[in-house]
Chains A and B, each alone.
Chain A
Amino acid sequence: MKEIKIDLNKLLKEDKDSISNQEGQTKLFKIAELISAETSTVIKEEVLQQIKRLILTDFSLDEINNLMSFIHYSRLGNDDLLLFLKNYIKINFNLGTKEDATKRGIIIRFIIERNNKLFSLTDLRNEKYLFKHAQWIWTDCISFYDFHIVIDAIADLITDDKNAINNLLLRIPGYLKRFGVDELREAIIRWYPYILSVEDRHKINKWAKQLGIVLGISLHVNSRINEIPLEQEYIFNGTE
């Protein structure tokens, strides 16, 4: 290993975009790869200690995201570190701003993806700022506990968020992996009446089909038309 002296803070703050090779790998993730292959526990422990010393409140969203990806690719995300991160956010990222809530959500999701026993559904329901400001990340977290809550939350998001379908399409492969085709078919059928734009409906149909989810959506539209809120029913009928 050529770079024994790893200054993680500098890597994350200053060198995160330094080019490492022809494939576009950055120095930060090259180091992650080296650590992942490293057998010396001394080096791994040193990097773990550095992570614990980082003052994450100084970090931008992109740096927090890079740190989580760094831990992922260096395979340092053990329970000890996850607990450390959990304790860290008990006293940090509580300001109630959108930025703080998003950073907090990225860290919580990272922990839950690796060990969902470290948070409970009640803990997540109490994450008011996360729910208010970064609802997609909140739903990602919830999806490790109860998919039905996710289904309801996304139905609301489809109504409120202009990027909802893009954000949903991004998540469908992950949901498919976690819940399977049948659950997702039911979920999409539930969401479908809330999708008002014809273009968005086409997108959902297309990608459901491409990902192996057979919706039989025309039947659904007739059978569940009564569930559609009135104002949506008007638009829905007007466009069909």
Chain B
Amino acid sequence: MTKKYNHYLNSHGCKILISSGYEKMLENIIEDDENFITEKMKTEFFEFIKDINDEPEVFKLLYEFFDTPKNVPFNKKKYSLKGKIIDGNRIHSIELGRVTRKSTFSIIFINAFIKKIPDAIISINDSETVIDKFLIDPLFGTNIDSTLFCEYVKDVGIGGEKIASYPMWTFEGYDDKVFEGLPIKDLPCILGLPGPEGTEKNYKSDKRIAFSIIVPSKIDVKKPTSFDAGINTVWRPGGKTKPHNECYKKYGSFGLEEYIHEPVTFNEIMSELFEI
């Protein structure tokens, strides 16, 4: 760990984070590549929380910090999407994988309509029903055409709407077809996805879905940084996902190349929606 930040670790804010189990988050920030998360940015982070002596207040400030400044486009954010850009055309020609909570995807599906046809938006229940109709159990497979969901969203008029209103984390598989050879049901463990508290605990607690996308060349694909990971104890620097301990025996410490980028649209979904 870089010693130049050691004195901050004894500050009130850092002590709270350490006692709450978020020591790894601090380590990640300290160890992160200073070509991208610069010494100045790191110092700003530690200065921001150093005098805070109240746990909820520290977490509240962290949310604010990582989202600074609020309500501006992603390219104007001070601390997010600052990682290394992946050069070349290859990254824009292969399928990248995306895993997200089913609840998040259902909400995004509704939100895609809210600005377009607000007086006709469907309920969260019906949104989940639509998603359920297209979900496929990867263990049993299906005859459904892989582009069916994509066709559906085009036909209902939201193909050009964004899949997320925030940066998307994606990963690369063994093959240009991202799910080839990957045990889809184990992806949350292989990818080391966090549970509700940003830790490994209860990481399986919510239903998730997986699908693939192709990122258009107008969107930069980057390596995530500790500032993109935010309040999180399961992410590690180095550019690869970090499997949870639970599947360590099965898959070892092997991780997959991970990326972050601005949101793509529903049109860029390339696969079925797999139920995890």
Interface centre among B59, B107, B132, B194 (most CB of A within 10 A): B107
Given A15-B63, A137-B119, A169-B152, A37-B196 contact (CB < 8 Å):
yes
Interface residue? B66 (CB, 8 A): yes
Contact A174 B124 (CB under 8 A): no
A30 vs B107: C-alpha distance when bound (angstroms): 13
Task: Please encode chain A, from 195 to 209, with 1 for each CB lying within 8 Å of some chain B CB and 0 for all others.
Answer: 000000001001100
* Docked-complex contact A173 and B125, CB < 8 angstroms: no
The CA of A63 and the CA of B16, in the complex, are separated in Å by 33
Q: Is the CB of B123 within 8 A of A207?
A: no
Contacts of B122 in A (CB 8 A): 140, 170-171, 174
- For residue B136, CB closer than 8 A to chain A, the reply is no
B30 contacts A by Cβ under 8 Å: no
B130 and A37 contact, CB distance less than 8 A: no
Question: Is B107 a contact partner of A22 (Cβ separation < 8 A)?
Answer: no
Q: How far is the CB of B256 from chain A (nearest CB, A)?
A: 13
- 8 A Cβ contacts from B115-142 to A: 117-126, 129-130, 132-133
Q: Write out the residue numbers on chain A whose beta carbons fall within 8 Å of the beta carbon of B152.
A: 169, 207
Beta-carbon contacts under 8 Å, A118-140 to B = 133-137, 140
A24 adjacent to B155 (CB under 8 Å): no
Interface of A is mostly: helix
A33 touching B103 by the CB < 8 A rule? yes
Query: Is A19 located at the chain interface by the 8 A CB criterion?
Result: yes
Residues of A60-111 at the interface with B, using a CB-CB cut-off of 8 Å, are: 61-62, 65-66, 68-69, 72-73, 98, 101-102, 105-106, 109-110
Q: How far is the CB of B81 from chain A (nearest CB, A)?
A: 11
Chain B residues with CB under 8 Å of A4's CB are 56
Contact present for B193 and A170 (CB under 8 Å):
no
A24 touches B104 (CB 8 A): yes
Q: How large is the interface on B (under 10, 10 to 19, 20 to 34, 35 or more residues)?
A: 35 or more
Given known contacts A17-B165, A24-B166, A61-B118, A72 and B125 CB-to-CB distance under 8 angstroms: yes
Complex contact A207–B155 (CB within 8 A): yes
Q: Do A113 and B125 touch (CB < 8 A)?
A: yes
Contact of A159 with B by CB under 8 A: no
Question: By the criterion CB–CB under 8 Å, are B118 and A102 in contact?
Answer: yes
What distance in Å separates the Cβ of B28 from its nearest Cβ neighbour in chain A? 13
A3 contacts B196, CB within 8 Å? no
Q: Does A5 lie within 8 Å of B205, measured CB to CB?
A: no
Task: Report Cα–Cα, A140/B108, bound state, in Å.
Answer: 20
Residues of chain A having any CB pair with chain B under 8 Å: 1-5, 15, 17-27, 29-30, 33-34, 37, 61-62, 65-66, 68-69, 72-73, 98, 101-102, 105-106, 109-110, 113, 133-137, 140, 161, 163, 166-167, 169-171, 173-174, 176-177, 203, 206-207, 210-211
Q: List 28 A-B contacts (CB under 8 A).
A: A3-B59, A3-B60, A20-B231, A21-B193, A22-B235, A23-B208, A24-B104, A24-B164, A24-B168, A24-B169, A25-B100, A25-B104, A37-B196, A61-B118, A65-B110, A65-B111, A102-B119, A106-B123, A113-B125, A137-B120, A140-B122, A163-B117, A163-B157, A169-B155, A170-B113, A174-B130, A206-B155, A211-B133
A-B CB proximity, top 9 nearest: A136-B120, A22-B169, A174-B126, A134-B119, A166-B157, A23-B100, A173-B133, A24-B164, A19-B166
